[in-house]
Amino acid sequence: MLGQSGYLLYIMQFIPAIILISFLASFIRSAFGFGEALVAVPLLALLLPLSVAVPLALMLSVSIALLILIQDHQHIHLKDAKALILSAIPGIPLGLFLMLQVEEQWTKLLLGLFIAVFALYSLQKPVVKKQPHQKRTVLLILMGFLSGVLGGAYGLNGPPLVFYGDRAGWNATQFRATLQAYFLPASGIALLCFFAKSLVTPIVCYDFLVALPAALPAIYLGRWLNAKLSTRLFFKVVYLLLLLIGILLLIHSLIGKLAW
């Protein structure tokens, strides 16, 4: 086990990779309203322990959501955001418990499998016409709870929210803004849980300071691209990238198990 000084020497070789991951993840989040954790956590987990990668991704999530809300708060679908937040709260400590109890290699294996399946589903699902703002109360509560579990365990609140927003018929502008209204308090609560468990260490804070400057220009670039490119086409590219990341993480976890 490396001490803090040994870890800092170790991490310096990965600083360019951390900066690039932060930029890419922040760009995707700003362009589409979600997805940065689906990129950041798996890629960071290839370099860092999950106990560092997950709180680092949460700290980035809070920062990105705050900046996007300052830009686009007028487009929030407030009622759905409130319901998603309230139903996510009981799921967060359950997810944190699972992260602390399950062996890291198994967690990476499950995470890679989850991301690959989610990406395949998103690529293969048929396009159907939605009714705008259709109310689905049970689905709303269930997806909020699942987002809390995944957020507490892996920092991956996004997939259940994407599923709900797609079914509810949000347009792109509402989708981007409403998810930030969810992510800011939900990720903030999850981050407080990590602080309470002493998981936000000086090492995590150091990595956050390395990652944050790259996120700032990516947020503005993502917002610009959001207005210029086809969301559907860009989502296809993102999901293909996520599929590749999921496969890489599965391979990484299996190699770790064989080495063990």
pLDDT level of residue 132 (50, 70, 90 thresholds): low
Digit-coded pLDDT (tens) for 73-91: 888 888 899 999 999 989 9
pLDDT value at residue 35: 76
Average pLDDT over residues 206-222: 93
pLDDT level of residue 65 (50, 70, 90 thresholds): very high
Q: What is the overall mean pLDDT for the chain?
A: 82
Q: Could you tell me if 19 and 210 are in contact, meaning their C-beta atoms sit under 8 angstroms apart?
A: yes
pLDDT value at residue 127: 61
- Percent of the chain clearing pLDDT 70 (strictly above): 88
Q: Sign of the CA dihedral 82, 86, 87, 88? A: positive
Tell me: pLDDT of 260 over 50: no
What's the chain's length in residues? 260
- Percent of the chain clearing pLDDT 90 (strictly above): 20
pLDDT value at residue 240: 84
pLDDT level of residue 129 (50, 70, 90 thresholds): low
Instruction: Return the amino acid letter for 230.
Output: S
Q: Could you tell me if 186 and 160 are in contact, meaning their C-beta atoms sit under 8 angstroms apart?
A: no
pLDDT value at residue 95: 85
Q: Could you tell me if 110 and 252 are in contact, meaning their C-beta atoms sit under 8 angstroms apart?
A: no
pLDDT value at residue 21: 94
Nearest to 173 by CA among 244, 101, 71: 71
pLDDT value at residue 20: 95
Q: What are 51-55's contacts with CB under 8 Å, separation 24+?
A: 51/199, 52/201, 52/203, 52/204, 52/207, 53/155, 54/99, 54/153, 54/154, 54/155, 54/194, 54/199, 55/155, 55/191, 55/194, 55/199, 55/200, 55/204
Q: What are phi and psi of 92, to 5 degrees?
A: -65, -50
pLDDT value at residue 4: 61
pTM, entire model: 0.71
Average pLDDT over residues 162-185: 82
Nearest to 157 by CA among 134, 137, 181: 181
Q: Sign of the CA dihedral 160, 162, 168, 174? A: positive
